[in-house]
Amino acid sequence: MRQLSELDKQILNKLAPELKGATGPGPGHDYKFILLPVSHRFSESPEDFAQRTNRLTDEELDYLVNLIQKGEEDVHSLAEGDFDAFSEVIEKRLPEKRKAMKDR
């Protein structure tokens, strides 16, 4: 199981502030991915998911896209509409990375 790095935890906390401090070894909080728990547990809609991802810096978004490219971040299992919402954020903020999202 992939262990979240400190950067991963910072990003997760930024996306889901209601989770802050709960990404440690406690039961149910050992997340393998960053976007998946946000999509399924905290985001109320694709629009909410997009607003949450817009909180990230361009560098953090780039980091997530790189994780996706390496197969270390799951976008196949996001809630319906959330991948499209995330892709739109990437298109607007990091258009050069959009191709990487299409090749997921």
For the chain, the maximum distance between any two Cα atoms, rounded to a whole number of angstroms, is 39
pLDDT of residue 36: 95
The first and second tokens of residue 97, run together, are 């990375």
Q: Where are the domains of the chain?
A: 6-18+31-102
Q: For each successive 10 residues of the chain (104 residues), what is the average pLDDT?
A: 87 89 52 93 97 97 94 94 96 82 60
